[in-house]
């Protein structure tokens, strides 16, 4: 196997035309890292800080207790925060990630830089609990890990003299293939509407955070929405197989996959999912194609780097080792991919190097929203006036304009979308959020856009559940129509029996002196 790998590497080195490909991929990855760390820096303390909704130090203590020591726990769940997890340290490291990501966007990347970003983000993901359980977290980790081997060891320049390791380009193509095929298969297996071509009848209305174009997509003619599902199947179930084909078919596949991702970006706010998916798709292009679209000063610098390239033999051995490792780690992933009980967004190793992916295996037929409301009334009656809290992105007010917020992710808004399809006992963090609102906690309030009780906290808070539907954008001024379905969480106050005990039993801040 090693002999065949060396022959492959020698042939690849003879025709290395991926200088521009590497340049674009690393800049795109830096862009994704930037928004991932920016989301962290803005939300990490109120979400997982010492007094956050789900404190990381409580989680780390439980993991350490389970494995017996911080060192043993680190081996199972690698994160630097096992050894120090104070709020100032987490905040500093999040902003450090923002700064280093920006350096990559500008043009600086080498092994230490990309290793730092990968391990730091993994450290946050491993303590992020509920807030960091999305598939694009491990997708960023896998993409970021491969990018380490795309770079020279030390030279951070945008166009270093170290040739692009072509086997790593192929590994990126393997990632693009697995993501799209996995997402396509989970759709066929998960919800009959994908087979009946009707999923887009509901998807734009029921997705987590719609954007301004979502209502227009939703009200498109049914035949057009069915064509959209057919294009989804082509992009996910057919086009990925040409990622390893002849150049013409490979580039055609890349154009289809990129077009599909950009259509998704137009239709909703999916955090950085679509943007991180674009990074490995870029690996399907070569310099001959990309130089048609890039400025001349960039292509000239790439040509200069190629002419003065200095191949390094040790990189061949590293590439061989990486290819063998990925092949080995891909075995359970491939088995899962073709299993009738396929699972999505799962890692089979502690470092999230090779994972299985999927998105929207099922599509909701109706949109449910939780509305958090408070009142200053001392006694609740039928005439009690309730005032709602407004979150940064999730729908509450029917007249509020839909946001454009991706690739930034307001994580509490996403989790409330999931909670609306579940019961309160499955979401104890929402009881904690209510408790914080009852105390006008600054950290919790920093996660939302409007607090109806700025001067003093309310006496009671409840959570109602509503059914939301898009209003026709060309006919009505409102964005939504809604119908109240009932109370999801009954009114709570600081005097509610057992509430304080529940907060203390979870080792959350009870605000007691």
State percent of the chain over pLDDT 90. 86
Q: Is 190 a domain residue?
A: yes
Cβ atoms within 10 A of the Cβ of 196, count?
11
**408 contact partners, CB below 8 Å, separation of at least 6:** 35, 38, 39, 271
What pLDDT, on the 0 to 100 scale, is given for residue 56?
96
Instruction: Give the domain range for residue 220.
Output: 2-356
**Three-class SS of residue 469?**
strand
pLDDT higher than 70, residue 218: yes
Q: Lowest-pLDDT range, 91-100, 114-123, 312-321? A: 312-321
Q: Is 361 a domain residue?
A: no
Residues 302, 388 within the same domain? no
pLDDT higher than 60, residue 1: no
Q: Cα–Cα distance between 162 and 373 in angstroms, integer?
A: 59
Residues 347, 395 within the same domain? no
Q: Is 455 a domain residue?
A: yes
Residues 344, 488 within the same domain? no
Phi and psi dihedrals of 368, rounded to 5?
-110, 140
Residues 273, 241 within the same domain? yes
CA distances from residue 466 to 402, 461, 470, 484 in whole angstroms, order as listed = 18, 16, 13, 4
Q: In the chain, how many domains are there? A: 2
Q: Which one of 306, 337, 356 terminates a domain? A: 356
Q: Which of 441, 429, 428, 448 is nearest to 387 (CA)?
A: 448
Residues 346, 383 within the same domain? no
Residues 96, 71 within the same domain? yes
Q: Averaged over 64-69, what is the pLDDT? A: 89
Q: Is 362 a domain residue?
A: no
Residues 435, 299 within the same domain? no
Q: Is 13 a domain residue?
A: yes
Residues 398, 441 within the same domain? yes
Q: Lowest-pLDDT range, 8-12, 80-84, 194-198, 323-327? A: 8-12
Under a CB-based contact definition with an 8 Å cutoff, are residues 493 and 459 in contact?
A: yes
Longest dimension (CA), the chain: 81
Q: Please give the structure tokens belonging to residue 189.
A: 């297996």
Q: What tens digit of pLDDT does each residue of 381-437 get?
A: 999 999 999 999 999 999 999 999 999 999 999 999 999 999 999 999 999 999 999
What pLDDT, on the 0 to 100 scale, is given for residue 3?
52
Q: Is 513 a domain residue?
A: no
Q: Which one of 337, 356, 375 terminates a domain? A: 356
**86 contact partners, CB below 8 Å, separation of at least 6:** 50
What is the distance, to the nearest Å, from the Cα of residue 403 to the centroid of all Cα atoms in its chain?
18
Q: Which one of 329, 356, 383 terminates a domain? A: 356
**Three-class SS of residue 304?**
helix
pLDDT higher than 50, residue 342: yes
Beta-strand runs (E) in 216-333? none
pLDDT, greater one: 57 or 8: 57
DSSP character at residue 242: G
pLDDT higher than 80, residue 5: no
Residues 399, 319 within the same domain? no
Count the helix, strand and coil residues of the chain and give each as a percent rounded to the nearest 5: 55, 10, 35
**Where do we find the tokens 């891909």?**
330
Residues 120, 43 within the same domain? yes
pLDDT higher than 50, residue 212: yes
Q: What tens digit of pLDDT does each residue of 11-49 get?
A: 444 455 899 999 999 999 999 999 999 999 999 999 999
Q: Is 27 a domain residue?
A: yes
Half-sphere exposure of 280 (CA within 13 A, CB side): 27
pLDDT higher than 60, residue 9: no
What's the per-residue H, E or C state across 414-458? HHHHHHCCCCHHHCHHHHHHHHHHCCCCHHHHCCEEECCCCCCCC
Q: Averaged over 116-135, what is the pLDDT? A: 97
Residue 423's Cβ-count burial label (10 Å; 0-12, 13-18, 19+) is exposed
Q: Please give the structure tokens belonging to residue 182.
A: 């996995």
Q: Cα–Cα distance between 135 and 132 in angstroms, integer?
A: 9
Residues 69, 102 within the same domain? yes
Q: Which of 333, 334, 338, 358 is nearest to 348 (CA)?
A: 333
Q: Is 152 a domain residue?
A: yes
Question: pLDDT band for position 489 (50/70/90)?
Answer: very high
Residues 330, 413 within the same domain? no
Q: Which of 41, 89, 73, 81 is nearest to 57 (CA)?
A: 81
pLDDT higher than 70, residue 332: yes
């Amino acid at each position: 196997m090693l002999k065949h790998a060396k022959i492959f590497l020698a042939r690849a080195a003879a025709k290395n035309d991926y200088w521009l490909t590497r340049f674009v991929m690393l800049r795109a990855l830096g862009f994704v890292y930037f928004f991932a760390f920016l989301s962290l820096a803005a939300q990490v303390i109120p979400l997982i800080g010492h007094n956050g909704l789900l404190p990381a130090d409580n989680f780390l203590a439980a993991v350490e207790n389970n494995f017996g020591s911080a060192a043993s726990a680190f081996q199972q769940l690698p994160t630097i925060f096992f050894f120090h997890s104070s709020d100032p340290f987490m905040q500093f490291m999040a902003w450090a990630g923002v700064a280093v990501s920006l350096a990559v966007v500008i043009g600086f990347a080498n092994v230490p830089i990309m290793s730092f970003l990968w391990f730091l983000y993994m450290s946050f993901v491993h303590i992020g609990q509920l807030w960091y359980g999305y598939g694009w977290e491990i997708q960023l980790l896998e993409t970021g890990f491969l990018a380490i081997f795309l770079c020279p060891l030390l030279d951070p320049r945008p166009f270093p003299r170290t040739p692009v390791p072509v086997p790593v380009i192929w590994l990126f193509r393997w990632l693009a293939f697995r993501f799209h095929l996995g997402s396509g298969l989970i759709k066929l297996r998960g919800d009959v509407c994908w087979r009946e071509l009707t999923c887009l009848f509901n998807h734009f209305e029921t997705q987590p955070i719609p954007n301004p174009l979502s209502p227009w997509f939703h009200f498109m003619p049914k035949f057009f929405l069915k064509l959209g599902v057919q294009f989804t199947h082509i992009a996910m179930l057919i086009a990925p197989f040409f990622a390893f084909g002849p150049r013409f078919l490979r580039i055609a596949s890349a154009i289809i996959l990129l077009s599909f991702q950009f259509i998704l970006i137009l239709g909703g706010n999916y955090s950085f999912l679509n943007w991180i998916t674009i990074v490995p798709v870029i690996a399907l292009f070569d310099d001959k194609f990309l130089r048609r679209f890039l400025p001349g000063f960039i292509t000239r610098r790439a040509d200069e780097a190629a002419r003065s390239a200095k191949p390094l033999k040790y990189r061949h051995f590293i590439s061989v080792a990486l290819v063998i490792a990925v092949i080995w780690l891909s075995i359970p992933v491939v088995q899962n991919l073709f299993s009738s009980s396929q699972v999505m967004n799962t890692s089979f190793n502690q470092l999230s190097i090779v994972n299985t992916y999927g998105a929207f295996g099922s599509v909701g037929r109706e949109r449910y929203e939780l509305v958090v409301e408070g009142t200053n009334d001392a006694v609740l009656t039928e005439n009690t006036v309730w005032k709602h809290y407004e979150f940064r992105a999730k729908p509450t007010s029917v007249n509020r304009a839909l946001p454009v917020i991706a690739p930034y992710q307001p994580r509490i808004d996403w989790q409330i979308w999931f909670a609306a399809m579940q019961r309160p006992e499955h979401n104890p963090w929402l009881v904690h959020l209510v408790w914080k609102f009852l105390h006008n906690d600054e950290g919790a309030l920093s996660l939302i856009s409007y607090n109806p009780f700025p001067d003093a906290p309310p006496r009671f808070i409840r959570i109602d559940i509503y059914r939301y539907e898009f209003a026709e954008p060309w006919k009505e001024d409102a964005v939504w129509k809604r119908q109240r379905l009932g109370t999801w969480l009954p009114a709570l106050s600081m005097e509610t029996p057992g509430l304080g005990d529940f907060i203390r039993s979870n080792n959350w801040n009870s605000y007691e002196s």
